[in-house]
Each structure stands twice: as C-alpha cells, then as structure tokens.
Structure 1
Amino acid sequence: MKNTIITILCLLALASSASAQNARFTTSGVIEFEKSVNMFAMMKKNISENTGSFWQEMYDSYKRNQPQFKLLKSTLSFTGDKTLFTPIAESEAGARNYFSNDPMVTQNNTIYSDLTTGLFTAQKQVYEETFLQKDSIRKINWKLTSEMRTIAGYECRRANAIILDSIYVVAFYTDKIPLSGGPESFTGLPGMILGVALPHENITWFAKTVADKPVSAAELKAPAKGKATDYKGLRKIIDDALKGWGNYARSALKAFTL
C-alpha cells in the first residue's frame, strides 16, 4: 500500500512538471479591448454639478433614446517589449448625440510604448488639434491583491492604484503574457493588463479576445503626425484653452492625460 501511494505521488509530480513545461506563454499578438462607459451615471453627475432644467431634460431624452452603456473598440498589438494601442473609429450613427462628445467617453489616444527604454509616443486628438506627445512611461504604484478573475480565457490577478493624484484604478493582469503592457497608458504590472476599471469615472476596458500570432515591425510603428509636445506642455495647452470652464475642464483634463 505504501509503495502504491509513493508511485501515485511520483506520477502526479511528473504530470505537474510536464504540464508546467508545456505551458504556453503568449509573447506576440493582438488583443481586442472593449471600453464601456456608463452614460447614465456620468450624466447624473452632470445634473448634480449643474443647476437648471436643461440638464435634466437632456438626461431624460438620452435615457429614452440611447443605451445605458456606450461601447468602444480598440486593439493592443504587442511583440517583444513593444506595444501599440489603437482606437477603432466609431460609426457615425454611434457618435451623434450631445453627451458622446465629452472627451471622457471618446477615444483620443494612439499610444506606442517601448517597455525597455521606458518611453512612449502618443498621438492625442484634443478637439480639433492633433498632438504628438513623447515622454517617459507613467510609473504607477500598484498594490497587488489575491483576487483572481478570468478575462478572455486568461486567469488574471487584481491590482489597485491611484493615478493623476485622485483617479482610483483597478486592473487585472496575467503573467501568461509576460509583457508589462496594457490598454491606453496603463502599464507596470508583472504581466499584460487585460482589464481596467475606473469605478468613480464609470469607465472600464476589458479584453474580449487575445490572438496569439506574430506581429511584424510594420504593424507596430509609433505614430508620427501631430504637434510635438510633452506632458507638461500638453497640460498647459489644455489648462489655457479651458480656463474658466469649471468642472468640465477638470473632466476634459482627465480624459486627455489618462
């Protein structure tokens, strides 16, 4: 009996070792993300921050004619130590309403990141102007947790952080994609970020599919068009342009500097 138990344990150990050796790590591919914005919740904030019947009427009209969640698509291509986040343009029908022009509910950034050099290039659409921001990748002070969640077929671990002084971020990453990237400018975890939530902003990004495939250098080029700037320069431009706009200016600044 003792010999039988030892034999079984040895076989289990060998099976576990073989499974670990055969575990596949994705090092190159394309992730499709879906950004979801709770429009009803965002408009409720506008109503609480602005007096008058105009906002309530706009909110009531939107609720009658539009879905609660606005959904936007994007892709994240990656290979080696480089990533390229690219928004997928909305259809015209999906963009025709007053609240959908808010910068927080649009996709303004195309971002190329080199995780080895710690530098990124971001093409940012700021209203009618296009800027090309080159800067160091944002360092985020993540705190890892034990919570797990399956996203796009990958087991992911939760991490929390605060960015831009006040924005609470929840992220889920997988170490089965050993690249410290993610959607938009969210990076810095020990694996690819497949899910991001900004609970107080009512916005999430979650991976829908992960295509494990080669990505060529031609598919992973940094954007090159736009007025050259860096974070400080872009922030000054936005501050100057929106001076006196109150709460709207704060919301727009968040959107353009995420």
Structure 2
Amino acid sequence: MKKLTITLICLLLLNGKLFAQHAHFTTSGTIEFERKTNMFAIIPKMINKDNEVWLTPMLEAYKKSQTQFKTLKSTLSFSNNKTLFIPVEEETVEGGGYFSNSPIATQNNTIYSDLDSKTGVFQKKVFGELFLVKDSTRKIKWKITDETKEISGYTCRRANAIMLDSIYVVAFYTTEIPVSGGPESFNGLPGMILGVALPHENITWFATKVTDMTLAPNAVMPPKKGKPFDGKGFKDKMQATFKDWGSEAPIYSKVFAL
C-alpha cells in the first residue's frame, strides 16, 4: 500500500511537471478590439429642455438612417510589459450627421503604458486639437469575482470597479496573457483585459482576435505629437474649456477623461 501511494504521488508530480512544460503564456503580440457604442441610448442623455427643439428631430433622423450600435476598431500591441493602444481610423458613414462626429461616438485616445514604471503617455484628440499627456497609469481598485467568460479563445475572469468617482466598470481578464494591460487606459488586473463594459455609459470593448507573436523592438513606442501636459494640467485645461458649456459640460468632461 505504501509503494502504491508513493507511485501515485510520483505520477501526479510528473504530470504536473509535464503540464508546466507545455503550458504557454503569451507575453508579446497584438490584440484587435471592437468598441460598440449604443447610440440610441447615449443620444437621449444629451437632450434637455435647452436643446430639445433641435436635437430631438436630429435624433429621429439618426435612428432612421443609422444602426443602433456604432462599431469602431482598435489594436493593442504589447511587449516587454509595455502596451500601445491605437484606434483604427474609421470609415466615413453617410447620413450620421452631428452625432456621428461627436466625441461620444469616436475614439479620441492613443495610449502608451509602461506597466513596470506605472507611467504612460496619452495622446488625446479634443475637437481636432492634439494633446500629449504624461502621467501615471490609471489606478483602479478592482474586485475580482468567480464569473468567467470566453473571449477570443481565452478563458477570462470578471472584475468590477468604480472609476472617476462614478463610472461602473466590468472587465474580463485572462492570466494566459500575464500582462496587466488592456484597451484604452484600463489596467491593473493579474492578466490582460480582453473585455470591458461600461453599462451606464452604454459602451463596450471586446477583443476579436489575439495574435501571439514577437514584435519589432520599436513596435511599442509612445506617441510624440501634441501639446504637452501633465495629468493635472490637462484636467484643468478641460475644466476651463467646458466651464461655459452648460448641461453639456459634464458629458464632454467625462468623455475626455476616459
């Protein structure tokens, strides 16, 4: 009986060693993301008693000519614990009018993150003007749950958080890609974030393809163009820009803070 027990233990140890030898973790490559924005839910939030006379007809016209969800694409390159998130230039859509070009419906950020030093360079487009913000990476206090979801062939675990004081975030990350990054400025989980949902903001980002590959040394580099600011300076600039925008100020302030 003692010999049998020792034999079983040896077999279990051998199987564990073989599994570890064959386990593969992706540390370099690219991820393609799709961002979906529920325009039929977001636009009504912009309408109030001051603008309803002209925005309500524009909303009805938009519903007749456009689909409910606007889809945008982006890529995330990662290597050496650094990430670079780049929006893919969208195709021009006819008939979208005012709302299609609004910052709420576009991708405004190119994000470089150094996950070792927890610093980043964030290129932000604000109504056609480029800003280059150097700051620490976003600190998000995550609560990891037991819920799982498969995304692009990877088993992901759910985590929840509140960021920017009021935005509820649901994220799905995989430990099979042991890089603590994600789309846009989402980070800080024990694996790559492949899915993000902002339920109350009606926006999601989900990976559609993951490519495991060795990238060129200069593939993950920070953007360089834009008026230089630190994080606080950019925040102050946005507050000054939108201080006289009335009811629209909180909407655009939140958009450019993401």
Both structures adopt the same fold (TM-score exceeding 0.5): yes
C-alpha distance in 1 between matches for 2:253 and 2:46: 16
Which residue in 1 is equivalent to 2:63? Answer: 63
Deviation at 1:138, TM superposition (A): 1.2
Identity %: 55
183-192 or 121-130, which deviates more: 121-130
97-106 or 228-237, which deviates more: 97-106
8 Å CA contact 2:65–2:95 kept in 1: the answer is no
**CA separation of 1:97 and 1:225: change in aligned 2, threshold 3 A:** same
8 Å CA contact 1:154–1:176 kept in 2: the answer is yes
* Stretches of 4+ aligned residues off by more than 3 angstroms: 3-17, 47-53
Which residue in 1 is equivalent to 2:174? Answer: 174
Which residue in 2 is equivalent to 1:114? Answer: 114
The within-5 A match list for 1:34-183 is 34-47=34-47, 52-93=52-93, 96-183=96-183
Which residue in 2 is equivalent to 1:240? Answer: 240
1:30 partnered with 2:54: no
Q: TM-score, normalized by length of structure 1? A: 0.92
8 Å CA contact 2:62–2:95 kept in 1: the answer is no
8 Å CA contact 2:108–2:125 kept in 1: the answer is yes
Unaligned runs of 5+ in 2: none
C-alpha distance in 2 between matches for 1:93 and 1:84: 27
1:225 partnered with 2:225: yes
Which residue in 1 is equivalent to 2:208? Answer: 208
Letter in 2 for 1:100: S
Deviation at 1:178, TM superposition (A): 0.4
Alpha-carbon RMSD across the aligned residues, in angstroms, is 2.4
SS in 1 for 2:97: coil
Deviation at 1:11, TM superposition (A): 6.0
SS in 2 for 1:92: coil
C-alpha distance in 1 between matches for 2:189 and 2:43: 32
C-alpha distance in 1 between matches for 2:154 and 2:50: 43
8 Å CA contact 1:102–1:252 kept in 2: the answer is no
C-alpha distance in 2 between matches for 1:241 and 1:127: 11
C-alpha distance in 2 between matches for 1:240 and 1:177: 40
Q: TM-score, normalized by length of structure 2? A: 0.92
Letter in 2 for 1:46: M
Q: Per-residue CA shift, 1:13-63, capped at 9, x if unaligned?
A: 754553343111001000000000000011222236756343321121111
C-alpha distance in 2 between matches for 1:208 and 1:153: 9
8 Å CA contact 2:173–2:195 kept in 1: the answer is yes
Q: Per-residue CA shift, 1:163-190, capped at 9, x if unaligned?
A: 1111000000000000100000000000
C-alpha distance in 1 between matches for 2:117 and 2:5: 52
Deviation at 1:93, TM superposition (A): 2.5
8 Å CA contact 1:95–1:101 kept in 2: the answer is no
**CA separation of 1:60 and 1:6: change in aligned 2, threshold 3 A:** farther
C-alpha distance in 1 between matches for 2:67 and 2:191: 34
SS in 2 for 1:139: coil
Unaligned runs of 5+ in 1: none
Deviation at 1:153, TM superposition (A): 0.5
8 Å CA contact 2:174–2:193 kept in 1: the answer is yes
8 Å CA contact 1:104–1:254 kept in 2: the answer is no
The total of aligned residue pairs comes to 258
8 Å CA contact 1:118–1:137 kept in 2: the answer is yes
8 Å CA contact 2:62–2:96 kept in 1: the answer is no
SS in 2 for 1:217: coil
